[in-house]
Amino acid sequence: MSRLFKIEWIKIRSNATFWVLAALHIGIVLLVVLSGKLFIRSLSINGETFKNLVDQARIPIYEFPDIWHNITYVAGFLKFILAIYVIISITNEISFDTLRQNVMNGMSRNEFIASKLILVFLLAAGSALFLFISGFVVGYLSTPDPTIPDMIMYSGFIPAYLLQVTAYLIFALLIGLLIKRTGLAMGIMFLYTLIIEPVIALRIHDDRIKDLLPLRSIGNLIHMPFGKYMLREVQDHVTFKETVIVLVYIAVFLYLILLLLRKRDLK
Amino acid sequence: MNNVVTTQNLSKHYGRIHAVDDLSISIPERSVFGLLGPNGSGKTTTLGMLLDVVNPTAGTYSWFGNYSKKENRQKIGSILETPAFYPYLSAVSNLKIIAEIKSIPDANLDEVLKLTGLFDRRHSAYRTFSLGMKQRLALASALLCDPRVMILDEPTNGLDPRGIAEIRELIKNIAGQGKTIILASHLLDEVQKVCTHFAVLDRGKLLHTGLVNESSPEEYIVELSAEDNNRLGEILDSFPGKVKMELYQNRFIITLSDKTTIGELSKFVYEHGLILTHLVSRQRSLESQFLELVNKSK
């Protein structure tokens, strides 16, 4: 395990693309965590309907316990930046022929996948940890009277975020391995995320089936929280069923990844 | 002598094309084994299967009597076709990755970098290297694990004459340390200069396998010329100890009969008043054997 970690670490530590994308991801997450207040203020000033509905000063988006749900939901949209790096990493191994060379040098194909899963998990865990720390700091500063139960309540959204990002990055790994070419893989990834799956979802009228679509189910781990500020009912917890669906998808992705690599001639 | 690797009925088919067909060979330990064949004869595919990057359609192979475990590959240094490294990493970082993969994290990187003449450029990114330097880094990576077996596929491809000579020296040195070398090439001359054993492949089939020198070792072939080649031809015509004589590019190629020595030939020419300006003895060339084999199979 530490051998595979070291191998992956040497590969990324002097890779400029990795550091640029990591900084970009962290920067935008930070922006999300800090800029929500401004956003609400501009809405309440410019948006007529919004102004009458709520009193902006009393929207506690950055207060415990709401903050965990709010920031994990919004940060969930930023996982695509990490997915870009995962796709670059795997497609480069193919186009540089280094995947083949690694196997020739004495790595098994399963070990190679394990090293990429280590990368995926480190990206997801790093992102979740950063979100947790910044969320904690901002929450502590924003909450008038922070209590421990309030801090803990809803903090389960952080592990849900971790699971969400992990699942999405494994999906990116599968796409990269399948498509092989960097640009094409990214294009297909975004096409699927932004157009293909949403269009399929529009055609399905039964919500129970719709929620079984891969990316939709990954997104469903964290439901949109903001409705509650407009006095709508929202799901403010992660359900067992939704978690299981995502875990099943992770298993399916992993199975396909291993199958794909085992069957393939590395030429 | 033990075999480092044996294959049994190894085959790789791409649809109707039989890239490798029912190949059974054994490669003895401490040999320099030349795998010969025209382009597209299945050499690289065979080596790819032995290194677990190409899945065989049928058949098996076994390294060190231990099948296809990854631990076996950790003891093999290999270069297949073009060198493959991470372009944005330095030579040192690239070698470190390989050392980790081969489970030898304390490997002496400086030593192989010096041996291949890359020590001064060890911190440069791989993408800044010339083709020759890339080839040498590949060689350095193959040497890194102090391998029991080295697999070299067209190792002199794209190198200049000096680079080719260096690689040839290096191969001889490595073979001198008791390591086994498997060398795939379509350059017969190259194989003849360094190999002890060879096998010939054509369209995926094994045509021949044997020792490089075993074919009629007592039969000498001599190549010679003089300033006055017309006169030389007359003298050679009257030389009794020859089996065959031909003129090729202003040089006479003489096959000597069993009991005749080169000294006798040289003396004979001298006594007829001519000084040789060129005299090379050589074994029956692999090229002629090879062409015979390939033509026979057609």
Model confidence pLDDT, tens digit, residues A55-73 = 555 677 888 888 899 899 9
Residue B205, CA distances (Å) to B19, B131, B183, B208, B209 in order: 9, 32, 18, 9, 11
Q: Are B122 and B50 in contact (CB under 8 A)?
A: no
pLDDT score for A267: 75
Residue A104 to residue B70, Cβ atoms within 8 A: no
What pLDDT, on a 0 to 100 scale, did the predictor assign at position A44? 65
What is the DSSP-derived secondary structure letter of residue A78?
Answer: G
**A260 to chain B, closest Cα gap in Å:** 13
**Residue labelled with tokens 């102090």:** B146
Is the pLDDT score of B216 beyond 70? no
Is residue B55 predicted with pLDDT exceeding 90? Answer: yes
User: Residue B35 and residue B210: Cα distance in Å, rounded?
Assistant: 11
Amino acid identity for residue B231 in this structure:
R
- pLDDT tens-digit readout, A77-118: 999 999 999 999 999 999 999 999 999 999 999 999 999 999
More confident residue, B8 or B171: B8
pTM of the predicted structure, to 2 decimals: 0.84
Which two three-digit tokens encode residue B226?
A: 């003089």
Q: Please tell me the predicted confidence (pLDDT) of residue A238.
A: 85
How do strand B276-282 and strand B76-79 relate by DSSP bridges?
A: unpaired
Q: Is the pLDDT of residue B296 over 90?
A: no
Residues of B with Cβ-Cβ distance to A263 under 8 angstroms: 55
pLDDT tens per residue, range A191-221: 999 999 999 999 998 888 999 999 999 998 9
Which stretches of chain A sit within 8 Å of chain B by CB? 3, 6-7, 10-11, 14-16, 92, 96-98, 100-108, 111, 263, 265-267
Tell me if A10 and B96 make a contact (CB, 8 A cut-off).
Answer: yes
pLDDT at residue B132 greater than cutoff 80 = yes
The mean predicted confidence, pLDDT, of chain B is 85
pLDDT at A157 over 90: yes
Q: What is the DSSP string of B155-215?
A: TTTT--HHHHHHHHHHHHHHHHTT-EEEEEES-HHHHHHH-SEEEEEETTEEEEEEESS-S
Which residues of chain B lie closer than 8 angstroms to A12, CB-CB? Answer: none
Nearest to A11 among B48, B78, B86 (CB): B86
- Position with higher pLDDT, A131 vs B66: A131
**Helix-, strand-, coil-residue percentages of chain B, each rounded to 5:** 35, 30, 35
Report the percent of chain A where pLDDT is more than 90. 64
